[in-house]
Amino acid sequence: MVAQRGRRNGAAAHKRTGSRRGPDADNAPTAELPAVTENGADPEARVKAIPEAAVARMAVYLRILSAMAEQGGTTVSSEELSAAAGVNSAKLRKDLSYIGSYGTRGVGYEVQVLIGQIERTLGLTRQHRVAVVGIGNLGHALANYGGFPGRGFPVEALFDIDPDLIGVPVGGVPVSHLDDIPVVCAERQISIGVIATPPAAAQTVCDRLVAGGVQCILNFAPVVLQVPEHVEVRKVDLAVELQILSFHVARRADNKVNGQVVEDPIPGAADEGVVMPS
């Protein structure tokens, strides 16, 4: 086979990931309209390719904006908003530019307008029914989160395999059996499945959720799920988070051997010095 890739954002190109699956997908471009990317003066801005990273930040901006609105704020500058979100203003403006131009030069953004636009972009104008699988400690916590973040994500189904739990209502929703996942999810039009089971059960549960028509999965189990192409998976992995922090602790200790912290590490290196922070 000769090289057939490296297609610079050209026109005709099936945006396919070489192999059959790509669960990783942490950086895939967001839209995939082959040739028809035009979106001129459409009153309803067509969803262009918003970088995945920007989408994640939008959610943060949204929360901050909501808080500001609640406190009576009516306008914000990119400087203010970005500071509250912990990013720099250029990034904030760039992010917002992906969804349109809703600011006023010399003034800033209108809080309400921005909230509306971000909500629209994130698809928050519709409901996304959620199912939580695995009603252990974590599942309980999730189920009781009550409608999840603000409304928009009602928990409509719970599942577990423990006979003692079946039928018991948690947070107002009765627990069903794992075996019923496909049926119940289909019936209740679940669009997001949350997996909070032990790792061993995760893949099976995932398969059933998919069978039930669930399109998106939020996985708390420390397992890499295999899913069909059309299903979106996000992973929240406590162990990974802690280990990343561990890495930083270790790195820091190494860089600190002299009691001096440096921004740019010096190729001086040190052994695995065990330095305790003072």
Partner DNA sequence: AGGTGTGAAATCTTTCACAGCT
Partner DNA sequence: AGCTGTGAAAGATTTCACACCT
Q: Which residues are annotated as a binding site?
A: 134-139
Determine if 104 is a binding residue for DNA (CB under 7 A).
yes
Which of 16, 26, 37, 251 binds DNA (CB under 7 A)? It is: 26
Q: Which does 166 bind (CB under 5 to 8 A by kind): a second copy, DNA, none?
A: none
211 binds a second copy (CB under 8 A): no
Residue 173 touching a second copy (CB under 8 A):
no
Spatial distance between the Cα atoms of 275 and 249, rounded to a whole number of angstroms: 10
Q: Does 236 bind a second copy (CB under 8 A)?
A: yes
Interface characters, 167-206, with DNA (x: CB under 7 A)? ----------------------------------------
Site string for a second copy, 180-209 (x = CB under 8 A): ---------x-xx-----------------
Judged by CB under 7 A, the chain residues 72 through 101 that form the site for DNA are 76-79, 87-91, 93-94, 96-97, 101
Q: How would DSSP label each residue in 23-52? A: S--SS--S---SS----TT-SS-------H
**Can you tell me which of 77, 80, 84, 98 binds a second copy, judged by CB under 8 A?**
84
* Residue 27 interacts with DNA (CB under 7 A): yes or no: yes
- Per partner kind, with CB cut-offs from 5 to 8 A, the member of a second copy, DNA, none near residue 104 is DNA
Query: Using CA atoms, how far apart are residues 79 and 183, in angstroms rounded to an integer?
Result: 49
SS3 state of residue 220? coil
Closest CA to 122 of 160, 152, 159, 86: 152
Contact between 18 and DNA by CB under 7 A: the answer reads yes
List, as residue ranges, the binding site for NAD(+): 134-139
Structure tokens at 121: 């972009």
The distance of closest approach from Cβ of residue 33 to DNA in the complex, given in angstroms and rounded to an integer, is 14
DSSP state at residue 234: E
Q: What are the distances in angstroms from CA 121 to CA 34, 57, 102, 125, 205? A: 20, 12, 13, 9, 30
Phi, psi for residue 85 in degrees, rounded to 5 = -90, -10
Question: Whole-number minimum distance, CB 174 to a second copy, in Å?
Answer: 19
The residues in 48-67 that bind a second copy, with binding defined as CB under 8 A, are 49-50, 52-53, 55-60, 62-64
232-235 β-sheet, strand order: 169-170, 173-177, 155-160, 130-133, 192-195, 216-219, 232-235
Q: Is 105 in the site for DNA (CB under 7 A)?
A: yes
Cα–Cα distance for residue pair 135/162, rounded to 1 Å: 9
Give 163's DSSP letter.
T
